[in-house]
Each structure stands twice: as structure tokens, then as C-alpha cells.
């Protein structure tokens, strides 16, 4: 679903020199797999997400999203790439001037789904995250965990092949985190490539999924923990 081939990103600001946020990162996220992306702040997690979301362009290397080489996507093609990526944001990025329903419906409205379809899909997504009864409320009236779930419903409502989550359990207690992780696992099970960027190591420890670790822009570890556990060693693959 996602493939990075020796991707580098260098930020240059006039008079301040330059900083390599990512250095020669290569990785592959297949469909149906849940992957953690971790690393200290400044290690390049956000940069990696920004490159995949086409908020920024890589300085070198090639990224493929769902088979599309992003280098060849022009400005007008960016929305189409983003429609294939469901993104769950740390700060939810919900709109408080409209209902939960309208928030979740936004990607469908944008993609031009027929009206009748929108209703069905939005309710299915809200049902999935357990918020069907709150569709008419304003997201402002919901708790942090509920808002996060509205964000997830919006991310998956148009059934994107790829789901990115940026600190999805950031401010949640372990019980809520577990619920949200269960949702992500469900999506992976039906064939979505899920990548969760987090520095919540206890969360990562609780699940045995593939783990990518970034340190100062380098991908220092790409381990399939299940495989490692079976093999009994921690060497990078």
C-alpha cells in the first residue's frame, strides 16, 4: 500500500543552515498489516506522515501510495491521493460548527458520493466506532475519547486502503486506548494498511505488531515483533 524508496527530507531555512529530517528511509507497508511508527520527537515521525499526506515533498527518493508515485502527482492531484488515506489526527481536527454526522460525512461529500449513499456509509462508520446515537450532537459536547472516535469514523468512512494515525491514544486512559487499538486491528483485518505513529511505548509493548523506529531521520529498526519473538532474537530484518 505504501512504499518508500530511499526517501530523504532536508529542511533549509535561510541563515539557519539545514537539517535532515529523514535520511534514506526505505520501507514497505503491505495491505492488511498494522504497523507502529515510533521515535523521539524530532526523529522524523511527523515528517514521514507529512510526506505521505503530501503536505510536504521529499528532497530525494520515491514514495508510492496505493501504487501512485507521489513524485509525479501535481498540485491538482494531491486531493485524490489524500482521499486514499484516512488520517486520524492527534488533535482530532474536527469542525465544531457542524454535527458529528456532518463531520464524518465530509470526505464523502468531497468525493462526490450520492446523497443516499452518504447516509448509509456515515451511519455504518459511526456504528463501527460506537457513536451512532450521537450523530446529531456537536463534537464539542463529546469527551476526548469520543472525539477521537469521530475522527476515526471520518478517516475510514470512505474506506481508504490506508489508515494513518498520529498519536491516536495521546490523551486517553489505557482502557480507551485499548478500545481504539481494537478498532485499528479490525481495519487491518479487513485489508487496510494501518500505520500508528506514537511514542507511547507501553502501548506498543502491549501489542505484538510490526514496529518501525526512527532515530534522527534514520530508520534504525524495522522489526516484525511476531517474527522476532518466534525467532528469539531482535535483529532488524
φ, ψ of residue 16 in degrees (nearest 5): -115, 10
Query: How far apart, in whole angstroms, are the C-alpha atoms of residue 72 and residue 75?
Result: 10
Hey, what's the cell of 179?
Answer: 478500545
User: In this chain, which of 39, 44, 107, 217 binds another protein, going by CB under 8 A?
Assistant: 107
By the rule CB under 8 A, 109 interacts with another protein: yes
By the rule CB under 8 A, 111 interacts with another protein: yes
By the rule CB under 8 A, 60 interacts with another protein: no
Report the site for another protein in 145-164 (rule: CB under 8 A): 154, 158-161
By the rule CB under 8 A, 57 interacts with another protein: no
φ, ψ of residue 3 in degrees (nearest 5): -140, 130
By the rule CB under 8 A, 76 interacts with another protein: yes
Q: What is the DSSP letter of 171?
A: T
- Check if the beta carbon of residue 93 is closer than 8 Å to that of residue 165: no
Shortest Å distance, C-beta 230 to another protein: 27
Look up cell 474536527; give the residue. 94
| Piece in contact with another protein (CB under 8 A), picked from 17-25, 94-102, 132-140, 226-234 | 94-102
| Piece in contact with another protein (CB under 8 A), picked from 9-17, 85-93, 131-139, 173-181 | 85-93
Query: How far apart, in whole angstroms, are the C-alpha atoms of residue 72 and residue 159?
Result: 24
Shortest Å distance, C-beta 44 to another protein: 13
Look up cell 530508520; give the residue. 219
By the rule CB under 8 A, 72 interacts with another protein: no
Report the site for another protein in 168-227 (rule: CB under 8 A): 190-192
User: In this chain, which of 11, 19, 117, 143 binds another protein, going by CB under 8 A?
Assistant: 117
Q: Largest Cα–Cα distance of the chain, in whole Å?
A: 55
φ, ψ of residue 145 in degrees (nearest 5): -65, -40
User: In this chain, which of 53, 73, 132, 176 binds another protein, going by CB under 8 A?
Assistant: 53
By the rule CB under 8 A, 143 interacts with another protein: no
By the rule CB under 8 A, 66 interacts with another protein: yes
φ, ψ of residue 193 in degrees (nearest 5): -85, 120
φ, ψ of residue 156 in degrees (nearest 5): -105, -5
Hey, what's the cell of 67?
Answer: 501504487
Hey, what's the cell of 37?
Answer: 511508527
Hey, what's the cell of 43?
Answer: 526523529
By the rule CB under 8 A, 79 interacts with another protein: yes
The residues of the shown chain that bind another protein, judged by CB under 8 A, are 31-32, 46, 49-50, 53, 55, 66, 76-77, 79-84, 87, 89-91, 93-95, 97, 106-107, 109-115, 117, 124, 154, 158-161, 166, 190-192
Amino acid at each position: 500500500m505504501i512504499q518508500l524508496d530511499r526517501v530523504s527530507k532536508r529542511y533549509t531555512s535561510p541563515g539557519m543552515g539545514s537539517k535532515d529530517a529523514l535520511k534514506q528511509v526505505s520501507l514497505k507497508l503491505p495491505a492488511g498489516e498494522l504497523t507502529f511508527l515510533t521515535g523521539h520527537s524530532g526523529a522524523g515521525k511527523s515528517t514521514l506522515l507529512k510526506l505521505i499526506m503530501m503536505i510536504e515533498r521529499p528532497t530525494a527518493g520515491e514514495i508510492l501510495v496505493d501504487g501512485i508515485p507521489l513524485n509525479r502527482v501535481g498540485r491538482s492531484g494531491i486531493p485524490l491521493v489524500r482521499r486514499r488515506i484516512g488520517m486520524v489526527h492527534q488533535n482530532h481536527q474536527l469542525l465544531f460548527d457542524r454535527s458529528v454526522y456532518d463531520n464524518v460525512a465530509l470526505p464523502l461529500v468531497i468525493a462526490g458520493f450520492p446523497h443516499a449513499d452518504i447516509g448509509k456509509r456515515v451511519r455504518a462508520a459511526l456504528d463501527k466506532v460506537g457513536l451512532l446515537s450521537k450523530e446529531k450532537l456537536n463534537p464539542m459536547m463529546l469527551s476526548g475519547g469520543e472525539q477521537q472516535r469521530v475522527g476515526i469514523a471520518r478517516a475510514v468512512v470512505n474506506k481508504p486502503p490506508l489508515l494513518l494515525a498520529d498519536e491516536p491514544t495521546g490523551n486517553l486512559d489505557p482502557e480507551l486506548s485499548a478500545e481504539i487499538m481494537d478498532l485499528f486491528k479490525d481495519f487491518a483485518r479487513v485489508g487496510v494498511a494501518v500505520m500508528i505513529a506514537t511514542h507511547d511505548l507501553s502501548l506498543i509493548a502491549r501489542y505484538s505488531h510490526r514496529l518501525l523506529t526512527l532515530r534522527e531521520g534514520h530508520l534504525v529498526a524495522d522489526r516484525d515483533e511476531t517474527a522476532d519473538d518466534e525467532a528469539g532474537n531482535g535483529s532488524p530484518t
